[in-house]
Amino acid sequence: MAYLIGIDASTTATKALLVDERGAIVAVAASEYDFQTPHPLWSEQDAALWWNGTVASIRRVLADSGIDPAAVVGVGLTGQMHGLVLMADAASDAAGEVLRPSILWNDQRTASQCDEIRARFGKSDRLGKRELVRITGNDALTGFTAPKILWVEENEPEIYRRIHKILLPKDYVRYRLTGDYATDRADAGGTLLVELATRDWSPAVVAALGIRPEWLPPTHEGTQITGVVSAAAAEATGLRAGTPVVGGGGDQAAGAVGVGAVEEGIVALSLGTSGVVFASADSPIYEPEGRLHTFPHALAGKWHLMGVMLSAAGSLRWYRETLAPGVAYDDLLAPAAAIPAGSDGLLFLPYLTGERTPHPDPLARGAFIGLTVRHSQPHLTRAVLEGVAFGLRDSFELMKSAGLSAIRQVRVSGGGARSPLWRQILADVLGSELVTVNTTEGAAYGAALLAGVGAGLWPDGETACRETVRVTGSTTPDAGAAAVYERMYGVYRGLYPALRGSFERLA
């Protein structure tokens, strides 16, 4: 039996997942850690945490499974996207060391640098944004890597002068595993430095931002072998020296592979604290205003569009903790099933922590709209579920307007997907079949499948997904409820524009 390991270096833990050649999960281990917020809007993490977590988690899955490490034929990498890892100048005594804590994806310090990036691509903010989106598929956002580089240049010039390589979080783990500098094209897309059409670093963007091309590592497709486990890493982890390490992908791309969203028309919907809509595309299409993210996919010749809402299942958690503390979720949702679709004219805006897609507005606020004395708590509960579904539909509508082909199936995962009522509401609002699948380990599982393709266990990613990912349940739209939601969605879409000015004044 051959085995694969998927490594996921996330913001809160590094997970190792051991998978056999049939795609069955053999062992899983995670090593938790924290991140720091030394100043308002800042979010940083010590890169050593990812490597220490990788070592501990690999050793644990090898020990728990009892397999011979020589049977591991490939390692796949995934992890949090957008983080900035700066490696020391090769000419210095500190060569190969990290120059400062990594600036993470959720760091918000770079608003002025985003404005500066747009300014370098157009005479106005709007023109600069459209040109940037045309090249990269994305607007300049504070979470991305490029504005973080400009921030270091402006605020920490002594560190900027010592840069030898710029890496992403999981690629620091790769460096420690193999001694090689490399990245995959899906994760690289989240830096804002990749040309969407060529799937490689953009000479125009790199030059405009004053970044030295030699700072950027070579890019690879997610299934390509980028190096092998070094003798030092083998001693640390217990793996066999020479074990291949593949490109892998950022957590969203790898997670989509993990649920089989690798074909156009199949969409992955993650219903966690935040909500992510991920659609594979066969060509580099993008939303002209940059309201969706568009990156290369982890599979060669494929791209993806992605929309993110900030409070999906997080909205339901807030609602329960605030208005029904101590009530079990099942007990809270059961009465809502008896309320008709549309909650008798009650709507909920799920902007409890601001919003990203389709309204990149940190000042957006949550609201119940349409309350009357006829509404009971079950109405409010159902309105929360419906409001989140409407917010997720916004991403679907943007994808359709960008040119994505017809959506034939939505593969749902995350804590919110455990609710049959919420799954039915989503199917009715989206007008699409909603299915659950047998894989629940997300990005780490996708990284393991990518490693399997690189190791030759499957000829390509599509085959790997077909042979390992199986549909376990299906929810189809109800025509009557879908018609009600179509009318209600029109009202929902008009609420943010009507209330935006009020949100700004309240903030």
Beta strands in 171-271 (DSSP E): 183-184, 194-195, 200-201, 219-220, 225-228, 244-246, 249-250, 266-271
CA distances from 503 to 13, 80, 350 (A): 35, 31, 13
In the block, tokens 């309105």 appear at: 383
Please tell me the distance from the alpha carbon of residue 3 to that of residue 17, in angstroms, as a whole number: 10
- For residue 93, indicate whether it is catalytic: no
Please tell me the distance from the alpha carbon of residue 464 to that of residue 134, in angstroms, as a whole number: 33
Please tell me the distance from the alpha carbon of residue 487 to that of residue 238, in angstroms, as a whole number: 59
Please tell me the distance from the alpha carbon of residue 447 to that of residue 459, in angstroms, as a whole number: 16
CB 311 within 8 A of CB 352: yes
Please tell me the distance from the alpha carbon of residue 333 to that of residue 318, in angstroms, as a whole number: 14
Collapsed DSSP state (helix, strand, coil) of residue 388: helix
**Catalytic residue (choose from 251, 331, 361, 478):** 251
- DSSP per-residue codes, 402-438: HTPPPP-EEEEESGGGG-HHHHHHHHHHHTS-EEEES
Would you name the residues annotated as active-site residues?
251
